[in-house]
Amino acid sequence: MQDQNKSMAFAIKRLGKNIGGSVCLISLVAGCATNGYDRKATTTVDAMKSGSADLALQALEQQNPDKDKDLLYFMEKGELLRMKGSYEASKETWLAADEKVRGWEDQVKTDPSKLLGDVGSIILNDTTRRYDGRDYEKVFINLRLALDHLAIGDWDSARTEIKKMHEREAIIADFRSKELDAAKSTAESKGLKTTSFKELNGYPVETLEDPAVRGLKNSYESAFANYLAGFVYEGLGEPSLAAAGYRKAIEMRPGQATLEEGLKGLDGRVRSRSPKLVDTLIVIESGSAPAISSMTLPIILPIPGRSGLSLIATPISWPVIRAADNSVVPASITVDDKPVQVALLTSVDQMARRALSDEMPGIIARSSIRAITKGIAQKAIDDNSGSLGMFGSLLSIAAKAGTMLGEVADERTWRTLPGFFSVARVKLAPGMHKILLPTATGPQLREVGVSGAYAMVSLRTSGPSLYLAQTPYNAEQAALALATPEKPIAPVKTAKAKTTGKKVAANNSKNTGADAAVVTTAAPLEKAATVASNNSKKKAIVPVSASVTAP
């Protein structure tokens, strides 16, 4: 019997050394994990907020020295390159991010079970899982690519990204349904009592139960994305698809006059476009996407032991997103000294909190199983540590420390993404115009040029800086458009008198609401640029719903 006890003690000691080694390994890995993404991204985000995209890019590269870059690297870098005005480089970077998300999509289609269960996250924490992006981030990659394509002047490629975006939304919806079912099944099979964040004592429930957050249909569809889709389809002469986008945006943000104006008179605008008016969408991007922080709270879990199950309060780290300040969003802007209302369409802050709310059942299930597994190992060490004397006590303490160090919430999220998306829409004369935007550091003025039938102007605020992106401006095209006579409306034939040019102009203004009289003679070409500049400044802003009737 004595020899048997010695053998058992030796085995326990050997086991203890192995466990101790594992605890050290876990502590080492967890030590890196505790420096969560929120802290890691601070240098990059602070540089961006100070108005230095170059310094932010340098910090990003320093924080990502490995050859194999992850999804977050490409998302952050693409945004910073866009802020610099490097649209081609930004586009290529986001295409690399898109390729990684497409890999996730392929797994969802072929073997979603691999994504629903991750061994690393069960053993250590959620930061060991491959980061595939929050649902809204996956969709915003397509959206940002579409805006890059527009800045380059490639409307067809923007349309392609819009189409990919809608397809991605459908894939996400299917996967989230399966994930929720899997989380419920896991909770039932493991006898887990806590399945909702509402049951976590001390968790800031109000951040996820905010009526604005709960009012979202999901975390990945947005009014801005649908409105932009409508604008792109309209610009390409596809009114039926444009109408669908506008209607979806109105459904998501009812009561917004700007959205309703987009749908009003759509067919007429597409059918009859005035060369002397550029339908201009002004996109205002404010603030930055929210950070995710960690909060450690205990959860009651059933831990197996020699005498059966014991309910033990186990500390677990949970992700938290605090509500962002939307005071950075302007209520109006000034275009050529005239006020224009701005409509706030999308809050990334609310989308992020809705995404976290949707992810919490899975997070709770994984965290609970992880805690139970660690609890069983800890119980075995505690039960046998007495026979190991001082070493056993140290081993027990080390195991507890390793467990605490290894417990960290997944703070990874796209930090350089704008926090709020607003729009204004006006019809402007071809040529140069001045836009005055109120910011946290005071009003900022930017001069933009618009030409063609449709144009997009994007203004991104970040700290003291204001970044401008816009569809390419063709000064010669703008000048020729202003110098070209309007096509007169065919007069109604009567037996009395001829319709004069003056009467036609009045009739045109009355029927369409357009503010330009019919031009009967073209300005000399050598004076065209001056005409474009002067006339565009004198031009009144025309309602978006106004259309010009042509024969």
pLDDT of residue 299: 82
- Using DSSP's 3-state secondary structure scheme, residue 414 falls into coil
Instruction: State both tokens at 112.
Output: 């979603």
> Which pLDDT value is given to residue 37?
85
For 514, what's the count of Cα atoms within 13 Å in the CB-facing half-sphere? 26
Q: What backbone torsions phi and psi does residue 104 show, to the nearest 5 degrees?
A: -65, -45
In 163-307, beta strands by DSSP E? 278-286, 293-305
Around Cβ 290, how many Cβ atoms within 10 Å?
Answer: 23
Q: At 451, is the secondary structure helix, strand, or coil?
A: coil
Model confidence at 533, pLDDT cuts 50, 70, 90, reads: low
The CATH number assigned to the domain holding 255 equals 1.25.40.10
Would residue 256 count as lying in a domain? yes
Residue 456 lies in a domain: no
Residue 85 included in any domain: yes
64, part of any domain: yes
The single-letter code of the amino acid at 497 is A
pLDDT, tens digit, 9 for 90 and up, residues 137-171:
999 999 999 999 999 999 999 999 999 999 999 99
- Residues 182 and 267: their CA atoms lie apart, in Å, by 46
CA 155 to chain centre: 21
Model confidence pLDDT, tens digit, residues 420-432: 999 999 999 999 9
> What phi, psi does 157 have (nearest 5°)?
-70, -35
Listed in sequence order, the DSSP H helices in 277-347 are none
| Residue whose token pair is 């996400």 | 172
Structural domain contains residue 450: no
What's the number of domains the chain is made of?
Answer: 1
**Contact indicator for 276, 429 with CB cutoff of 8 Å:** yes
Residue 464 lies in a domain: no
Answer whether residue 117 is part of any domain.
yes
Q: What is the per-residue pLDDT for 274? A: 84
| Among 194, 200, 202, 204, CA closest to 366 | 194
Residues 381 and 401: their CA atoms lie apart, in Å, by 13
DSSP 191: T
Position 388 in a domain: yes
Give the three-class secondary structure for 235. helix
Residues in the chain: 551
Domain of residue 231 covers 19-406
For residues 514-521, average pLDDT? 30
